[in-house]
Chain A
Amino acid sequence: MGEKLCAGKESAIMSRSLATIILNVPCEFHEESFRISEWDKEKLTSIFTELEFRTLGKRLLGATFNQEGGQTDLFGNAVDFKDKPRAAEPKEVEHAPSAMIKTIQDVPHKYSLVNSTEAISQLAADLHKHKEICFDTETTGLDANGCEIVGMSFSVVKGEAYYVPCPIDRGETIKFLQAFAPLFLDEKITWIGQNIKFDLLVLKNYGFDFAGKIFDTMLAHFVIEPEGKRSMDALSEKYLEYAPISIEALIGKKGKGQGTMRDVELDVIKEYASEDADITLQLKEVFLPLLVENKVEKVFYEVDAPLVKVLTDMEFEGIKVHAGFLKEYSDVLDKDIKIAEESVYAQAGHRFNLASPKQLGEILFDKLQLDPKAKKTKTGQYATGEDVLAKLAHHHKICDDILVFRELSKLKSTYVDALPQLINPKTGRVHTTFAQAIAVTGRLSSINPNLQNIPIRSDRGKEVRKAFVPRDENHVLMSADYSQIELRIVAAISGDPAMCEAFKAGKDIHIATAAKVYNIAESEVTKEMRYKAKSVNFGIIYGQGAFGLADNLGISRTEAKEIIDNYKREFVNITKYMDDTINFARENGFVQTLMGRRRWLRDINSGNFTVRGFAERNAINSPIQGSAADMIKLAMYKIHQRMKEEKVKSKMLLQVHDELVFDVLKGEEDQMKQLVLSCMEYAMPLPNEVPTIAEVGFGANWLEAH
């Protein structure tokens, strides 16, 4: 300490002068000129308009604020920005009330209640004259497989809508809605809705299927602007400058006290539901030209929209989960967790709260002195993250025990104990929801529960997959997955001759890569070399540099750099692809997949190294991951079609990124295998004739099938 002080004396004295705020600056405080005065509304209007502060402008300046946001320049001339790279639409993250946003009070509308049998038949007949019908359902909840229909609204003309309330009794409702069955079954009708999969699934639970085409405004907005909010209320405020009636005005705030749509007065729910259908129809009109302008019609009409009905059917099916197996496994885990925990306490010398990182850090680094160079976090505690413990685990059993404790505890609470709770009492199965408009790359997300992140790396994690079983003894689970799909896409879009050749020859791509990188024969490639080559291959997909690779492999940065340099030399076109992609993004503000799905990268030209680097990695990764997502979506649609055509009894159940899971009726195994493989392999032919390979497995549970 004293030494530090002696050495730092000069620095301290200089620092003191740097830290001292100067109080004799030549400036003077004039009371009058600092006094608050009237705002210059003209100046504020001009700058707010230019910056497109629409909501803020209206809030501060009231009705005088005319908003022509973004379309005029400083001098009021129209600015044409159509051919400039556009980094998506402006986002207003404000929630302030504003004068210019209209509500149901300000806009003429004709929302009618349709209540009698005759009126319903009349409505159905009138609607059937239209080729496009916007509709919405009101329900008692958000679980489409568990809630009841309260009513349906329809709109075919802006400003007009109809609300049909449904009886409480299920059988009555089915009879009631029968009037619309001819519409539902008409292949020529396009159904418009916001998150329409929910409505389709609700109606499917009442026995109604839709034969027509689908236009989902949420999905349209997703391909136009993959990032940002897209609830109907948000879209309406942004694109229509109209604030719909809030659901909280009807049934109260979220939480325990919230009522259901059943409790809402008929007159009120009529206005609310009709407005939803009306607004959704209007949004569709706004999005149509935007789909064209952004050149995303293809991915919308060929990939995302057709998938809606496929996913509806999959969510309807759900998958059988063996609750008894999970209960037993929970007990096994419980025992092992206790053993690991006790072992930790024994080595620590006493009991403490293992869940507290603070206490754990003190035990490991103060008491046991496992690492004299232990790092601390910002809050002053020792870091006890997985990476830290994993490094120490080789030499200290206590760290290994802690890791086991953590892994098993997480497994138990997130899956083993949670899954049985999620079994639908009506169907006895677990029904996930596939969210189509969350992941910006275009991948599907699985929520409530998330079945896409069940651990498969560890043996303990894998066991959970055993709980997923066929629906009965007449069925068997089938899993089909793409092999090395992302690397094949890299090879195909970069056109790298070496890599394309390896795939065409059906080689193990990582061995082929290792042979090139180490400049040896493929037969001489060791396991370790293959492992390193594999890391580079995947590192490339994620835009990883020497630093990341070194960290991943536990090798020196010099060695990592050498491997990467060799790689870049051997696979010249891959380097070129990466450079070209980044340059494309810099010029255009976006990157795109093989089906034309765009991802906007507004930070790609940022002056900040970190921010720009992040955008560059996304630029490289998004077309690859997104193209893989497009491919499996196309495959799913084809499989769904073919299964209908061939009238098989088997069902498609789950998608886990590059894997599909099916309940296959015994006897249909060969047929399904062929059907699925051919649909997957020919879903989206890759450039440069890179072959696409899928593999299929069967089993008495998901683990066995995979």
Chain B
Amino acid sequence: MKKTLYLVDAYAMIFRAYYALARNPRITSTGKNTNAQFGFTNTLVELLQKKNPTHIAVCFDMGAPTERLETFADYKANRDETPEDIKLAVPDIHRIIDGFNIPIMGVPGYEADDVIGTLAKQAEKEGFEVFMVTPDKDFGQLVSENIFMYRPPYQGNTFEVMGPKEVCAKWEINHVDQVIDILALMGDAVDNIPGVKGIGEKTASKLIKEYGNLDKILEHADEVKALWERNCAQGRKALL
């Protein structure tokens, strides 16, 4: 049997669990909201029981400022302040993960994304099939023949496994590396990656298709502009 490694993006799953139950919250007799703990445990158990992984780890962001924050002070600033209930839930969730005897990974100064990416690439070299358990779209850049995104079920949808084919189809690109350039252009409201003002998903994907990568697009900015103006004259629909 092929060895399978599941790497869980802890905070993404915790937030999701918390908000999925927000309308019908679970409250203990002492008044503690346990949505996050409950939803996270359910997802984890489902993963363990249905997927039977041979290997697993749960990855957290650690408190220290990350390299990205030093690049751009607004990074992730868009996020509403983390709900109190979630902050209070994290120690419980640590204990739950510990109870399942699953290692908790996190490196100060790096995000869970980076830790997952690094571990995924290492495990791939050792012959593992790796599943990154997360709904976050930026993980698309990491998928390969042996590395997949595993998006857990949400709001009635079933889980979704995304390999290179699916990622490329989603963004209409040829290579998963281009996910980075797409995000650089369109930005990501969740992570507050600014992107380029006025460019959305469609345009980003169109430009990447036309020029291949961000550097080329920026090199040809004038040409893009000319094309843009001509198209404007013909009616803006063509490019948009």
Contacts and interface: CB of A to CB of B under 8 A. Distances in A.
Contacts of A4: 196-199
B188 interface: yes
Interface string B196-209: 11110001000000
B71 A17 contact: yes
Contacts of B43: none
A609 B81 CA distance: 9
B239 A93 contact: no
A107 interface: no
A105 interface: no
Nearest to A19: B183
Given A22-B114, A40-B98, A602-B27, A15 B195 contact: yes
B184 A51 contact: no
A3 B226 CA distance: 10
Given A5-B225, A51-B34, A91-B27, A37 B101 contact: yes
Given A4-B196, A7-B197, A85 B31 contact: yes
Nearest to A227: B24
B184 A27 contact: no
A394 to B, nearest CB: 28
B187 A15 contact: yes
Interface stretch (B51-59, B153-161, B163-171): B51-59
A627 to B, nearest CB: 26
A172 to B, nearest CB: 46
Nearest to A59: B45
Given A56-B38, A86-B31, A611-B83, A23 B55 contact: no
Nearest to B91: A47
Contact of B75 (A18, A44, A69, A85): A18
A294 to B, nearest CB: 13
Nearest to A70: B29
Nearest to B197: A8
A602 B26 CA distance: 10
B118 interface: yes
Interface string B22-39: 101111111111100110
Contacts of B95: 43, 46-47
A4 B217 CA distance: 12
A66 to B, nearest CB: 16
A255 interface: no
A52 B83 contact: no
Nearest to A3: B225
Contacts of A41: 99
A258 interface: no
Most buried by A among B30, B81, B139, B239: B30
A34 B214 contact: no
B185 A12 contact: yes
A77 interface: no
A583 B83 CA distance: 20
Given A4-B198, A22-B118, A34 B80 contact: no
Interface in A76-104: 79, 81, 84-93
A608 B107 contact: no
B148 to A, nearest CB: 15
A90 B29 contact: yes
Interface string B90-125: 001001101111010101001001111111011100
A12 B196 contact: yes
A23 B132 CA distance: 14
Contacts of A609: 80
Nearest to A17: B71
B221 interface: yes
Nearest to B138: A19
Given A21-B113, A29-B119, A86-B31, A607 B197 contact: no
A571 interface: no
B180 interface: yes
Contacts of A38: 101
Given A1-B239, A16-B214, A20-B141, A47 B110 contact: no
B28 A602 contact: no
A43 B83 contact: no
B181 interface: yes
A60 B82 CA distance: 30
Contacts of A19: 138, 141, 179-180, 183-184, 188, 191, 193
B141 A89 contact: no
B142 A21 contact: yes
B68 A51 contact: no
Interface string A21-53: 111111111010111111111011011001111
Interface of A: 1-9, 11-29, 31, 33-41, 43-44, 46-47, 50-53, 56, 60, 69-71, 79, 81, 84-93, 228, 589, 602-603, 605-611
Given A36-B48, A90-B28, A610-B80, 14 more contacts: A5-B221, A12-B195, A15-B184, A16-B184, A27-B107, A39-B100, A47-B96, A51-B34, A70-B30, A81-B31, A86-B30, A86-B31, A602-B25, A606-B83
Interface of B: 3, 5, 21-22, 24-34, 37-38, 41-42, 45, 48, 53-57, 67-68, 71-72, 75, 80-85, 92, 95-96, 98-101, 103, 105, 107, 110, 113-119, 121-123, 126, 138-139, 141-142, 179-181, 183-185, 187-188, 191, 193-199, 203, 214, 217-218, 221-229, 239
7 contacts: A2-B221, A26-B107, A36-B53, A44-B96, A44-B99, A44-B100, A51-B34
